Amino acid sequence: MTLIKSISGIRGTIGGNVGDNLTPIDAVKFASAYGTWVKNQVEKDEYRVVVGRDARISGEMMQQLVMNTLVGLGIHVIDLGLSTTPTVEMAVPMEHADGGIILTASHNPKQWNALKLLNEKGEFLNGEEGAKILEIAESSTIEFAEVDELGEITINDAYIDLHIEEIINSKWVDVEAIKAAKFKVVVDAVNSTGGIAIPRLLNELGVEVVKLYCEPNGQFPHNPEPLKEHLGDICKLVVEENADFGIVVDPDVDRLAFIDEKGNMFGEEYTLVAVADYILGKEKGNTVSNLSSSRALRDITEKHGGTYQASAVGEVNVVTLMKATEAIIGGEGNGGIIFPEFHYGRDSLVGAALFLTHLAEKKMTVSELRKEYPAYFMSKNKIQLTPELDVDAILAAMEKKYAAEEVSTVDGVKIDFPENWVHLRKSNTEPIIRIYTEAQSQQEADELANKMIMEIKAIAGI
């Protein structure tokens, strides 16, 4: 059982002991710190915060705790109820709110939940802001409102529809071309809020929808991380239904993966590659992804005459570099699409609509589209951390060992070899060290990963 306090929010398993897990007391403590931080940003008569949640079993409990804590601070709350992370991100500026909170542990299993914290732009807090909230949480400077100054809760369940309306009215989404293509799509929303939002979007675009695990009851039927080993059911159903492809989202709908018409993974790394190819084909520009993402985005960007750069892992880091380089599209190789025309946040609804437009214009199957992109293969592994494991020392030893190669220490250690690469880093959200490799064949990627795992274990003496 775990509680992880980081600059991006607080995440943990439900139940157990205060301070060791994400208990109601911990939720109130960190919601109080966030609300206090919001009020410290600017002095004004009225503060507003948008709150939404995914469909986790603990979600309603957590949301009530968080919202009423904000009310106790004198902050008015806009309650979106069951929503998506990108929907809450878009709602914050549309409501002229001072911030937002999403109750979701993203791809973590059902026993986890988290408070994801947004600023007044609907963007994730930066490191300095997150550190300040952690500092407030451990201090005694939180002052609650008197009875006549309590906040109020206003329910607004219209924002998923408003989110979809923004998308279908965009110049980047060709609704008529999508309708003319008469697509049939299977949707796996892991019984969370993607089961509300994605079918609704597809219906507006004239797509025939076959629902799989779209009941937002929080009972995840498989591991909610959208990886190949978890997606056997949709791969089988796409073929059985003779569908054009499948769409998979994680519980809070900011990660997007596709299944081709043959029941094969399109590759979560290639979600961003395909959508970027579509956007860059319309408008020349730069792109950004993180250090753990595929080289394929770099190749596609350079093909279109743009410049690619890599940031540290983490959405806020990608967004910061996108702004600095004026990138027109970016994201993360885990299926996260960030298209600033809508907002600076990963958005599976936007990604799905852009992919559908791209496919409709190309007039080809998903498997044919995949063959148009550079063939890279990734291996994603992890080593469970233990208290006695000195990860920083291990990473320093690996950096020293490969000093003759192109090495980046912006985020952990990334070693770029001529034909492949490896990225070693501590996770921000789980007690693990991640080992990502990429090569020109799956066997080579797996072999490189195994080699690195053996070297790490030798250094660690495990």
Q: 224-248: per-residue pLDDT in tens?
A: 998 889 999 999 999 999 999 999 9
* Domain edge (last residue) among 371, 401, 427: 371
Residues 424-453 have a mean pLDDT of 89
Residue 393 is assigned to a structural domain of this protein: yes
Residue 167 is assigned to a structural domain of this protein: no
Q: Three-state SS string across the chain, please?
A: CCEEEECCEEEEEECCCECCEECHHHHHHHHHHHHHHHHHHCCCCCCEEEEEECCCCCHHHHHHHHHHHHHHCCCEEEEEEECCHHHHHHHHHHCCCCEEEEECCCCCCCCEEEEEEECCCCCECCHHHHHHHHHHHCCCCCCCCCHHHCCCEEECCCHHHHHHHHHHCCCCCCHHHHHHHCCEEEEECCCCCHHHHHHHHHHHCCCEEEEECCCCCCCCCCCCCCCHHHCHHHHHHHHHCCCCEEEEECCCCCCEEEECCCCCECCHHHHHHHHHHHHHHHCCCCEEEECCCCCHHHHHHHHCCCCEEEECCCHHHHHHHHHHHCCCEEEECCCEEECCCCCCCECHHHHHHHHHHHHHHHCCCHHHHHHCCCCCEEEEEEEECCCCCCHHHHHHHHHHHCCCCEEECCCCEEEECCCCEEEEEECCCCCEEEEEEEECCHHHHHHHHHHHHHHHHHHHCC
Do 346 and 381 belong together in one domain? Answer: no
Do 280 and 398 belong together in one domain? Answer: no
Residue 322 is assigned to a structural domain of this protein: yes
Residues 171-184 have a mean pLDDT of 98
Do 213 and 295 belong together in one domain? Answer: yes
Whether the predicted pLDDT of 429 surpasses 70:
no
Residue 168 is assigned to a structural domain of this protein: no
Do 181 and 120 belong together in one domain? Answer: no
The overall average pLDDT reported for the chain is: 94
Residue 182 is assigned to a structural domain of this protein: yes
Do 446 and 384 belong together in one domain? Answer: yes
* Domain edge (last residue) among 131, 159, 187: 159
Note the pLDDT of residue 386.
74
Residue 164 is assigned to a structural domain of this protein: no
Residues 206-226 have a mean pLDDT of 96
Note the pLDDT of residue 135.
94
- Catalytic residue numbers read 106
Whether the predicted pLDDT of 6 surpasses 90:
no
More confident residue, 426 or 414: 414
Do 194 and 318 belong together in one domain? Answer: yes
Do 362 and 400 belong together in one domain? Answer: no
* Domain edge (last residue) among 159, 194, 212: 159
Residues 125-129 have a mean pLDDT of 92
More confident residue, 378 or 89: 89
Do 25 and 120 belong together in one domain? Answer: yes
pTM for this model (two decimals): 0.93
CATH of the domain at 418: 3.30.310.50
Give residue 432's pLDDT band: very low, low, confident or very high (50, 70, 90). Answer: confident
Residue 397 is assigned to a structural domain of this protein: yes
Do 109 and 249 belong together in one domain? Answer: no
Whether the predicted pLDDT of 341 surpasses 80:
yes
Which domain does 87 fall in, by range?
3-159
Do 197 and 284 belong together in one domain? Answer: yes
Give residue 1's pLDDT band: very low, low, confident or very high (50, 70, 90). Answer: low
Give residue 160's pLDDT band: very low, low, confident or very high (50, 70, 90). Answer: very high
Residue 171 is assigned to a structural domain of this protein: no
Structural domains in the chain (count): 3
- Separation between Cα atoms, residue 359 and residue 247, nearest integer Å: 14
Note the pLDDT of residue 358.
98
CATH of the domain at 45: 3.40.120.10
